[in-house]
Chains A and B, each alone.
Chain A
């Protein structure tokens, strides 16, 4: 067999049935082998960045490893943003790139780029395979690294001659050979015991839940712990779907655009139990004033995230699922009546809200309507900016892996290709990309991909004619000097949808919002809905940069 065929055999052994990719010179032999391959479906994208985000969206929504494929040089460098996005959010992905033939490496050959060098800081690990004999073991290692421990992207660079050289291929390796890689999954017993004791002593404990809970599939274990202990929960942007939105102990998102209730709870709590979260600056606000009265338990699979930003009292390294289960089994049944009552008062006094209007369409209103109609059954993806925050604030989630958003890197242009990837992995689900008129244009070329393969993604554009989040900051912190953020009416999205063979709606009246959403959700193909929303709506409440979590501003809403 040649290297291309061996690679496909390896991918099949890993259970890969879909690859998002784009051909090119050095990967011609691989695409030739794919031509005859029935078990692997290659989704031809329109830009390699789209392929990386699709693999990411596929991985986030299914829990499986997403695979993307690009040719050498520009093909590979176009993957970079998508790989970095996956890295920051710990998404299991394998990126395959072609490389010039081994004899040419280092010669500035046509379409040569040192992609392992370029991606080194944004991958969990990467490889260049220089000998066909190493190919199968490398693929085994790559999938193992990507999907275990703290997941992440792994890039495998494949020179052209590796695709074409021949060898006997008898069996796929059964084990990775990685003596330097042993992620800790079981939590240390003594640390768990300490954590249990600390939780039992606390009067105002709070669970601060991050994306690690989704990644480890620990939602059920989290629910059991909450039900046994009556500890309120606040989630990060990455974990909006880790715990049901309508649960009475869910205080909502914390941080910069979190709820007042969640932020006050952090500031007042005497024990913060961080699970699969990493104290991001968008979460902590001013670190010195973060959770000033709280001891901190930190459950995380990544030892480097412990005590990196905030000093932790009881670290427990390991997989959230195992550790939550262990804590729940050891802990006594508890109630926190006064504390819960306090959070309920905050919730009542400071609900997430907005000033609705009869003459304008408020973006929050659109998101609320989507939540009402989909009842937590849809997969929601977002772009980045105001659209992302409104989607997080006003959507209602029931199940994990239904909210896909670029939390760490904050990649505009993520949501639409991620939605395509999610749709590919969940053909029967309704997949909605909540977008802004700015970010949707960053990977708009993937309309062709979605239409070609009939992925019926619904794109909701909250169109305010601005790069809204930057505009908001300019309004608040730069004296309303709107430098390079005005993009009014630059595109006719209805015509654009039609140009790609999709359906387009322009919605200008509030009365048409619900009707259009219903129609679009019932439509079998891809739909773009261009909601002309209130122009200068801001995301509230907000913790200004550098301020403590309780110092929130709200534009006079409360």
Chain B
């Protein structure tokens, strides 16, 4: 059965590392849904967040093959960790002839932000899990999406909580 996995990969912050990871996916015909890369708290390392899709065997191979790369320092399967995931999307939505008010309602419901306004379009920023972003896209599709860009998911494990905090529901 196909599943989606979020994988956090800590790598050497060196030229060519992205190519090694990307080459691994293309060379072995692994499916990649999104990939986000940036520096970490330690400037000698970068962190890639990869969202990959495949059956159990393929996902296991992806984790092992990533681990095998010399420049990969650590691979964490975020799907087995409690983690926070976020993705950001910028969406230019057409507004001519449609109700701007209706669009603003959707923006409010999704706690999105309007960044740029013209007579023809609004450019909206929306942040959240990919589910939330997909939901937002569904809602604004009827207005006409002129342009869209998504960052891909990034994720961090949740901090360890005391029992008391958990009881209070502060883990959300």
Contacts and interface: CB of A to CB of B under 8 A. Distances in A.
Interface of A: 116-117, 120-121, 124-125, 128, 145, 178-181, 302-304, 307-308
A225 to B, nearest CB: 27
A179 B11 CA distance: 10
A120 B23 contact: yes
13 contacts: A117-B19, A120-B16, A125-B70, A128-B16, A145-B70, A180-B11, A180-B72, A180-B74, A302-B68, A303-B68, A304-B68, A307-B60, A308-B61
B57 interface: yes
B23 A180 contact: no
Contacts, number: 37
A180 B60 contact: no
Nearest to B69: A180
Contacts of A120: 16, 19-20, 23
| Among all A-B residue pairs, the 7 with the closest Cβ atoms | A180-B73, A125-B70, A304-B64, A303-B64, A121-B27, A181-B70, A180-B72
Contact of A180 (B12, B16, B64): B12
Interface residues of B, number: 20
A117 B74 CA distance: 23
Interface of B: 11-12, 16, 19-20, 23, 27, 57, 60-61, 64-65, 67-74
Nearest to B71: A180
Contact of A303 (B57, B67, B72): B67
A303 B68 CA distance: 8
Contacts of B72: 180
A179 B16 CA distance: 17
A180 B70 contact: yes
Contacts of A128: 16
A490 to B, nearest CB: 37
Contacts of B67: 303
B1 to A, nearest CB: 15
A307 B57 contact: yes
A270 B32 CA distance: 39
Contacts of A307: 57, 60
B88 to A, nearest CB: 29
Nearest to B72: A180
B155 to A, nearest CB: 20
Nearest to A150: B68
Contacts of B20: 120
Nearest to B66: A304
Given A125-B70, A145-B70, A116 B16 contact: yes
